[in-house]
Each structure stands twice: as structure tokens, then as C-alpha cells.
Structure 1
Amino acid sequence: MPENGVDLLDGLKRSTRSATVRAVVLGLLIGTLLCYTNLYFGLQTGWISMMSLQSALIGFLLSRVLASSVTPQENVVVQTTAVATGTMALAAGFVGIIPALGLLNVAQDGTPPIHLSWTAALAWSFAVAYYGVFMSPPIRKQVIIKEKLAFPSGTATAQLIAVLHKLPSPTEPNANLEEYSPLNTDEGHNDDHSVIAGESLDQTPSHLSQSWRSLTWSLMVSALITLLAYFFPVLFSIPLFGAYLAREWLWTFSPSLSYIGQGIIMGFPTTISMTFGMIVGWAVLSPLAKFEGWAPGPVGDMSTGSRGWILWVSLAIMCADSIVSLVPVVMEFVTSAAQDLTSRGTKNDTDDLEVETPERLVPLRWVYWGFGTSVVLGTIVLWTIFGNEGIEPWASLLGYAIGGVLSILAVRALGETDLNPVSGLGKISQLVFAVAQPSNVVANLIAGGVAEAGAQQAGDLMQDLKTGHLIGASPRAQFYGQLIGSTFSIFVTTTAYNIYTKAYEIPGPSFPAPTAYIWLNLARLLRDGNLPEKSGFFMIVFATAFALVSAVKVYCTQGQSRITKYIPSGVAFAIGFLNTPSFTLARLIGGAIEATWRTRQQSKGRGNDITLVVIASGFVLGEGLVSVVALILRSWGVGVSSCWGCGHGMCSGCPRG
């Protein structure tokens, strides 16, 4: 932390309570909207957003409107609680693992589909939602205090909070935000930090009022367009390249402001990687597989069509990219552990660097008891839900142990690269369980879900703890916020998913849940080794290519090379395969808008203007808000008003779609 800010921040954090009721309530309100938004987008495309920066901004604006301005430290708790509430859709597997269980069949998997009731889904969520939270406090000193890992999105959120509250810049002297990509996880879980890396923003009352108006209007416009698209589905399924390509090859365009907003938040480099993936997957490999007879079914069929065929290539790219990107993290972890062992018996300077008093820290006894209790109870719950045929108790304990180790790797990867490879880490657990419980697809999926949940929760909290460290918020207050947000979100997310499954077919035309197929495909591959015709060759080719690309990217990142941002992201490229072209095209527009805006603002010397991020956040939240309205309308039996223009058969909700 810069020297000129130490005394001020030290005084602030000693005199201000962070875990206030208003901070937690604000966080829960914002997080609930994010939760519905993330579940909606996650089931559509596999994309969710941490939205920590946006949560801090919205919390600040809301508190001003309510004439009860939060302090900087309260704002940290607001965004910590909001993130914990908003990301449960991914952490508890509602966009991947749980839909995958519903896709099981006796012929391929040796077990019938598993559809969890509301009570069972609630119990599952409790079983996986906590142990990762207890992983972060004991390693906070090492990665934040001693090593000062960058955690770029956490640092960016701290910068935004600092300028909103007119504090000195909290950036660590060794942090270099400009070289990091905004993409945070390989599920598409991301934040934007590219626009607030400077020292100050114009926070006059008129500017704040303008920010609030921008957020409100962008949200309302996005909500209105989304509501119109519910009644007139063709609005979000335009046959841009003709009815034939739309009907036979799934090439439509969705002018959804939310996906344009996502592209703005992701940034141009990420959306370009997705677009390249879309072109290779949907314009090259999909027709090739169809015409060669490797995927003879309808293109959109996940089992026999080319959409299911290219998912295997996407899986190979994701695994290769995740594993290679983890190599330096593992090496550094092993080296650091070896150094700690050789230095035992000598004084550890980490304690000397601790800036917090004991009453503001999370006691280790809480960590030990919390972690142990969550693992033991989680094991019992999993055995109760799935039985020995699903996963045996010893295997659950092994899953938690693997998940704990992988959570540490997730934290380090996030701190160094701003990438939390939760899906890749889950797949590592799947590989282990292919040996531990061979031929058991259910156990394989559960093990992957446990690892993903731990990595997600540990990474989110550590990112937030970095923000709190720079702003002077109490780690214990943030810990409370994380636990409260996670607990509250278990009920919100489980209920929302239960309503979705009653109103829609999941996976289905409206919500294809593409990541569910990725999880299930790997589990099936590890069970019987059968691949679609010729897909193995392309998996090897693309995995090798992106392993090399990832290695180059890692090397350039460690050398802080400016060309890093121009190297394609393997995960983003794979998501271009995963999603139909309609979503990627809209995100590309958003990415292009972000690049144009950033260039113009920098040329005017106004690189810190956050207006575009505010508008993009409104776009995303507007459609998320209407998703709740659409869910209610669907549950009441209120359908589309007109199927005009839906002759290509790609309109969601239309009988012909």
C-alpha cells in the first residue's frame, strides 16, 4: 500500500465497523438480482459473472439514493456479500453438475437420470457451499500479506471503492493491472478492471447523478427489449444470414443488450478469442462433421449432431489450457512449501507484516471446526442423497481432500493471473475418480462438483479479501458476509432452479445448459472410452495446439510482456464452440464497443471514465431482472403473443422454435 495512504486507511479501519446490517442487506439485495441473472445466463450459455466491481458501484449508488451512504469498509462487505450470493449458481453446480445428473441414462451410464427435489438440491448445496470458504482465511497471510499477489479484479474493485469514497489509491507497488485479461474463470465468470486503473474519478454530485441515470436507463431499456422478445421471440433470433443457415446450421443473431453488455465487460481480446472459436467450431468443424458423416443427426442434437460433436473438441481445449496454465502455479506452490519447510524454526516475518488486530481476523479454531464440520456433514449428506451406488462415504472424503488441495491452486492461479480455472480443476478431480471409483459416472460428476465448489468459494473470498486488505475492511466482517451471502443464496438459487425446471425443459431449447454436456461427456469418456467418430483426432490436434498457446501465454505473462493480451485465450476460444453463434456475435459487438470507447477516452485523457461499465452493468442486470418476470409468466401459462418470423424454427418459446 502506498505510504501516503497508510495512516488515513489505518485510522479509518480502526474506527469504522464493517459488518453493519445495512451493508449485509444491501449485499443480499444486489446479490439476489445477480443470482437470478447468473442462473439465467449460466443455463443459456455457461457464462456467469462475479460482478464484484459492479456490486460495489451499485451499492454505493443505492446508498446515496437512500440517503444513508456506506463507508468504504461497508462497501467492501456489500460487494463480498453480493458476490457470495450471486455466484451460487456456479458454486453449487446448478448450471453444470445438476443438469448433467438429469441427463444420465441406463444404456450409456448404467444409472437412470437423477432429478433432485427441492429438498435434495438444498441439501446438496449445503454439502458443497462452505468448505471452500474456510480454505481462504488461513492462507490469506501467505498470498496477500507476504507474497502480495496481484488479484487484479480484487485490486481493481479496491481502486473503484477508493475513488468513489475519495481515498488515496490503494494499489500495491508491485501490482500491474494493465497486463491482465478481464476473464476470471473458464466458466466465463468475469469482471472488468480495465477502466479504473488510475488515481481518481470525477465524483461530483452531478457525475454521480449521471452514473445513476446511466445505470437506470440502460437497465430499463434492456428490460423492455427483453420483455418484448418474450412475447415476440424473433426479436432475439434474427436469421441474419438467411433462414436456411438459421434452420439447418443454427446461425442466428440475438441483438440482446445483455450479451452486448457482457462483451463490454469481457473486453475486446476475450470476445475476439470467442469469435475465432465460433468461426472454427460452427463454420468449419460443424459442417465438416456433418458432411463426412461423423455426426449424421440434426446439427443441434447433442448426441448425434455436430453440436454435440464439437463439444468434445471444446472439452479438449479447456482441459489442455487449464492444465498448462496451472503448471507454473503448482511449481511455485511446491517451491514455496519446500522453502517453508527448510525455514522452520526461524522467525516467520509474515506475522510481523500482519496489519490487522486479532479481533478483526478469523480465528484458526473457527477455520478448523468449520472445515471439519462442513466436510463431515457434507459427506453424510451426499451419502444420504446418492447412496453407496452414487458415491461412498470414503470417496466423498477423498473428494473433499482433493477439492481442498485444488482450492489452494485456484487461489494462487487467481492471484497471479486473474483466472480461476474452476471447471478445469473439477475435471482434474474427475480424472482422479476415474481410478478411485471406476465406471461410476455419478461419483465422477459429484467429485467434479465438489472440487469446483471449493475452488469457486475459496477464490471468490480471497479476491474479496484482497479488496478488503487494500481498503482496510475487517477480514472477519468479510467472512461473515461470505457465510451469510452463501447461506441466503442456497435457498434463493435452489428455489429459482426448481421453478425453472417446472417452467422449462432443462436442458432444452430455451436453456441448453451447455456446460452440463461438458461435465457428462468427460465422465462418460472416463467410464467407457468411447468417442464420436474422428473426434479423438481433432481433440488431440486442438489440445496440443492450445497447450502450446497457453504455454506461450504463461511465459509472456511471467515476463510481463505487452503482447500477452494479444495471445488467444484457450478457454474463451472453447466457449465459442460451446455457445451457438447468436450469443458470440452479440458479445463481439460489445467487445468492439469497449475497444472503441477505451481508445477514444484515452485519446482525450479520460481513461478513468466508468460510464461504459455502468451502462454495460445495466444491460446485463436488466435482462436478468426480466428473466424473473418471464419465469413467472411462463409458470402462469402466459406464452408468446406472435410467432411471426419464426419460420426458421430457432425462436425460443415459439411452438415452431
Structure 2
Amino acid sequence: MANASGKKGLWGIEQLTVRSLILGAVGSAVITASSMYIALRMGALPWPTIFVAVLSMTVLKLLGNTDLREISIAQTAMSAGAMVAGGMAFTLPGLWIAGVWSGPQVFADHWWEVLAIALAGTVFGALMTWWLRPKYIEQSALPYPIGKAAAQTLITGDQGGRKAQLLFGAMGFSAVFTYLRDSLGLFPGALSVRWFTARRVDVGVMLSPMALGIGYLIGPLATGVWFLGAVLAYLLIVPVGPAVGLLASTEAAVAFKDTLGLGLMVGTGVGIVIAFVLNLWKKGRAGRNGVEAEKSGAPKKRGISSRTLQSGGVLLAYLFSLVAGLPPLAAVLLVGGVFVATAMAATITGETGINPMEIFGIIILLAIRALVPVTTTAAFFIAACVAIACGYAGDILNDYKSGHILKANPQAQFVSELIGGLVGTVVATVAMIALITRYGGVGTEYLPAPQAKAVTQMVHGLGDPVVFGSAVAVGALLYLTKVPAMTLGIGMYLPFALSGTVFLGGLTRLVYQRRKPSAANDGDVVASGLFGGEGIVGVTIAIISMLTGA
């Protein structure tokens, strides 16, 4: 089984094979489409790394004559488009929410703009991950828990193919369930509680295997905080606020809880920036010589990281941003903003496994708007480019971590991630517009897109500056004290039914881990199949609907 490791591969790059690229590209298309659906419908996007690790291992083992390094390279391509989809889904739907875009003609009129800004973010992300890889993976040795888990999954393997059976069994169940629900309409998308509905309080449970799977993967602590946000918003602020006269109406209560949730989310981003700056300051005091040695080592790693390639890639990304319609000065500022935001995203992802990409997009957008005026469309494109680059960087650095453990060739991973990312960018563009067209817009029960709603509020102004500012301060303080304020804010934004089902998934993990702690990884595989199956079928239905007009 030394096929992928001991010989010169494709284009003279060791370990790079044709089949790993083909499998990675096809897998990237499927995973990207699924991720777009998940991000728009759930308001969250779990890392696809473990899912694609099992998937690539299963397929390549069936083909035969493979090893863990070839599997790791295929996995890198497969996952590359997922966070591109996340960066787009968390920002660009704001163009529909704001009323800038609408109607079935959006694809024909604007697909090239969306594709251009997504390509800019993808190229930025690819270059930044390659530049950061030596420092963050080899020298600083950040843990990157998701990448470590993926490597361990591959190392453990599965002699009898049991993990593959669990993965595809769960995926098949979820796919059939979604088809019966969304295409045949045999049962509703959610069950509501009539007593609450009569009192204009939206409380219920979403019938979604994907939401259960996401809750299981996130775990009981995060889903508990998420659900707490929903309880505070929908069972306290919305009904009690108007009843006791603190808020003028139910509509005012909804606006209040939205502003509060947004402030907590943005405050988390501010807290991340503060922590990042403090960390740099501490390292600078600890010894500049060591820092300089790390910096000087990074650009000298292998020929692929030459200054010519770096400069050419930055120029290409800059040109893509101009094609998308950004003013030249704003595009220049975007280059600098992406550099800073991606480094922060890489750090927080490496330390915690969490990547709040849309918050980084909001922060850089606010900074650029403070310096130069931009149109509404350009504002969303700036946030999207930053979010895509940050999401892409976090995902690929997880793959670099996994590859480093498995001794995969980083040059082969770089080529693989670039091809997978480019395929994913095209698929994400089509999938996003198809889904929004299919469901008649964004912000509905089907596509709540809370992160895009947050970006829209930042573009159009805030509801109550005092409430927002206070929430930002609280969010930053909570983050610095290790409290997940962003998760609390997301719970205030998303529909209660979704939050309730996600919470049930988290409780399921808690019970399962206590009863069968040795089989926790099996649960991760099943959960990955649940959200993968619903995501794939949901996007397929949407694309067919867009093409047929049904």
C-alpha cells in the first residue's frame, strides 16, 4: 500500500495522485452543496473534516492500493469548499434581506459578481494558509482539535468497514426523511405548541435529522448555551417584555432580542481581537528573537511559497475583488483586512476549534467603512470575502494539521485544497442562489440565515445603539472569561424550534457518552451522516426546482 507515498506523483509532486484529485473535486462539490443548505437552514456549520475523512477513506479503500497520506490529500480537497459555502451563506443572503436583490433573475444578473468575490476570498485563504502553515502547524504547534480528531479517525481505521456502514446508513435515512418531508410533504417541517402559538410565541420542535446531528456534534455545553439564548429570547423577552410594559409591543420585543443577540455575537469578535492582540504582546515580551526566527522560517518553506507566487496570488485576488465591483481603494484595504482577520481566525480555530468567520467579516467591514464610503452591495461583498477567507483558512489548517500527523506532503495538500476550493466556489455560487430562489427569499422559517441578518443590520444601522453597545461590551467580557457569548447570541436569533432540536441532539450526546463512553466516535460518524444526508437532498431538490421552475 505504498502507492501514494514513495513515488513522484502528479506534476512531480510526491503523494499527489490523479484519483485523489478527482475524488476530492467530486466530493468537494457534494459537500459544498450540502454545507450551503446546512448553513442557510441551520445558522451553523459544523466542521466537515471528520465526515470527509471517513468518506475518502471508504472510497479509496474500495479502489485499493492506497495509504493514509493519499486519503489525507483527498480529504483536503473534499472539505475545501465547505467553509467557502459557509462564508457566503453567513453574509451574502443579506442582499436579499436588505431588498437589494430579489426575483428569479438574480442568477442571470449577478452570478458572476458572486463568483468573483468568492474566488477572491478563496485565493486569499489558500495563500494565507500556506504562509501560516509552518508557523501554526510545525513551530507554534497549535492543537487544531478537529484536525487531530480526523487524523485519529484515519489512524484508527475500521477493519470491518463498520464506520462506513454507520456513515452511509445514517446518510440514507436522513436523505429519505428529507425527501418525504420536503418533496412529498408527508409531514411538516416543525411541530409547534398550540398554547404558545395562541399567545404569539413561536415555540416548537423542528423535525430535522440534520439539526439533531449538529447538536450531537456540537455537544451538550454549547447546545445548552444555545438553547438558553432561545429561552431568554422567546420565553422571557418576547412575551414578558410587552406584558409588563418594558417594551412597547411584540415587534419591539423581537427587535430588542435581535439587537441583543447581534451585540453578543459582535462582542465575541471584539473579545477575540483583544485576546489576539494581548497574546501577540505577551509573545513579543517573551523574546523577540524566537518570534523573528519563526517569521524568517515561514516564507522559506519549499518553493511553492516563493514571493512570486504569494505576490501573484494577492494580485489575482485583488483583481477578482475589482471584477466584483469593489472600489480600488476599498479593495486595497480589503487585502490588509483579510491578512489580519485570517491570522486571527487561524489562531482561534487552532486553539478552540471554533471559527466565527462572519464576525471577522463584520469587523473588517466596519473598519473599511470608517475609512472609505462603499455601496450596500460592496459592503456585503467585503464581509463575504473576509468570511470566506477566514472560513477557508480555518478548515484547511485543520487539514494541514491532520496531514502533518499522517506525514502527508503539504505541497500535495496545497494543490488539492486549491482544486477543491475552486470547485466548491462554483458549486456554492449556484447552490446559494438556487436555494434562496426555491424558498422565496431569506429570513423565512426555511432559511433563517441569522448571520446574514446580523451583517445586514451592521450595513443598515443598529436598532438601539445603547442596547447594542452594552451587548458588545458584555459579549467581549464573556469571551475573555471563557463564556460562549456568540452561541448565546445565535440562540436569540434562530427560531426556537431549531434551537430546541439542536439541544435535543446535545442531550443525546451527553446520555450516549455516559452510557457508552468508548463508542463516542461512532456517534460522531452517525451525526455526520444525518446532517450530510439532509443537506445533499435539500440542495438537490432546490437545484431541480430552479432548473424546472417547479
Same fold (TM over 0.5): yes
The residue aligned with 2:124 is 131
The residue aligned with 1:365 is 308
2:118, 2:384 within 8 Å by CA — same for their partners in 1? no
Distance 1:332 1:343 in 2: 15
1:380, 1:393 within 8 Å by CA — same for their partners in 2? yes
The residue aligned with 1:624 is 535
Alignment match of 1:268 (pick from 220, 225, 228):
220
SS at match of 2:324: helix
Alignment match of 2:391 (pick from 430, 448, 456):
456
Counterpart residue identity of residue 316, structure 2? T
2:220, 2:510 within 8 Å by CA — same for their partners in 1? yes
1:263, 1:587 within 8 Å by CA — same for their partners in 2? yes
1:400, 1:450 within 8 Å by CA — same for their partners in 2? no
SS at match of 1:238: strand
1:252 matched to 2:181? The reply is no
Give the superposition deviation at 1:436. Answer: 1.1
The residue aligned with 1:578 is 493
Give the superposition deviation at 1:343. Answer: 6.5
Distance 2:235 2:279 in 1: 40
For residues 252-285 of structure 1, the C-alpha deviation after alignment (integer angstroms, 9 at most, x for no partner) is 2113111111111111111111111110111111
Q: Which runs of structure 2 are paired with 1:180-579 in the superposition (5 Å)?
A: 203-205=158-160, 208=161, 210-230=162-182, 231-232=184-185, 234-239=187-192, 241-242=193-194, 244-245=196-197, 248-291=200-243, 292=245, 294=247, 296=249, 304=251, 306-336=253-283, 348=293, 358=302, 362-375=305-318, 377-383=319-325, 391-438=326-373, 440-507=375-442, 508-525=444-461, 531=463, 535-553=464-482, 568-579=483-494
The residue aligned with 2:512 is 597
The residue aligned with 1:191 is none
Greater Rg by CA: 1
Percent identity of equivalent pairs: 20
2:97, 2:441 within 8 Å by CA — same for their partners in 1? no
Counterpart residue identity of residue 547, structure 1? A
Distance 1:104 1:536 in 2: 20
1:99 matched to 2:93? The reply is yes
For residues 66-125 of structure 1, the C-alpha deviation after alignment (integer angstroms, 9 at most, x for no partner) is 33253111111122111112222123x2x13322123335xxxxx787955223322232
Change (3 A) 1:99 1:243: same
Give ranges in structure 1 of 5+ residues lacking alignment: 1-8, 106-110, 165-202, 384-390, 554-567, 640-657
Counterpart residue identity of residue 136, structure 1? T
SS at match of 1:18: coil
Alignment match of 1:77 (pick from 53, 56, 73):
73
Give the superposition deviation at 1:576. Answer: 0.8
Give the superposition deviation at 1:320. Answer: 1.4
For residues 319-339 of structure 1, the C-alpha deviation after alignment (integer angstroms, 9 at most, x for no partner) is 112221332322223454677
1:322, 1:421 within 8 Å by CA — same for their partners in 2? yes
For residues 283-339 of structure 1, the C-alpha deviation after alignment (integer angstroms, 9 at most, x for no partner) is 11122455448474xx6xxxx564444221111001112221332322223454677
Give the superposition deviation at 1:216. Answer: 2.4
Give the superposition deviation at 1:399. Answer: 1.5
The residue aligned with 2:21 is 24
Distance 1:636 1:381 in 2: 27
Higher helix residue share: 2
Counterpart residue identity of residue 94, structure 2? A
SS at match of 1:253: strand
The residue aligned with 1:187 is none
Change (3 A) 1:540 1:363: closer
Change (3 A) 1:476 1:363: farther
The residue aligned with 1:171 is none
Give the superposition deviation at 1:246. Answer: 7.2
Counterpart residue identity of residue 206, structure 2? S
SS at match of 2:205: coil
Distance 1:350 1:543 in 2: 33
Q: With the length of structure 1 as denominator, give the TM-score of the two structures.
A: 0.75
Give the superposition deviation at 1:620. Answer: 0.9
Give the superposition deviation at 1:638. Answer: 9.2
1:37, 1:625 within 8 Å by CA — same for their partners in 2? yes
Larger RCO: 1 or 2 (CA < 8 Å, sep 6+): 2
Which piece of structure 1 moves more, 137-146 or 611-620? 137-146
For residues 153-204 of structure 1, the C-alpha deviation after alignment (integer angstroms, 9 at most, x for no partner) is 112212222222xxxxxxxxxxxxxxxxxxxxxxxxxxxxxxxxxxxxxx33
Give the superposition deviation at 1:147. Answer: 1.4
1:118 matched to 2:127? The reply is no
Count of equivalent residues: 538
The residue aligned with 1:645 is none
Counterpart residue identity of residue 523, structure 1? V
Give the superposition deviation at 1:601. Answer: 2.2
1:33, 1:624 within 8 Å by CA — same for their partners in 2? no
The residue aligned with 1:185 is none
Distance 1:358 1:48 in 2: 33
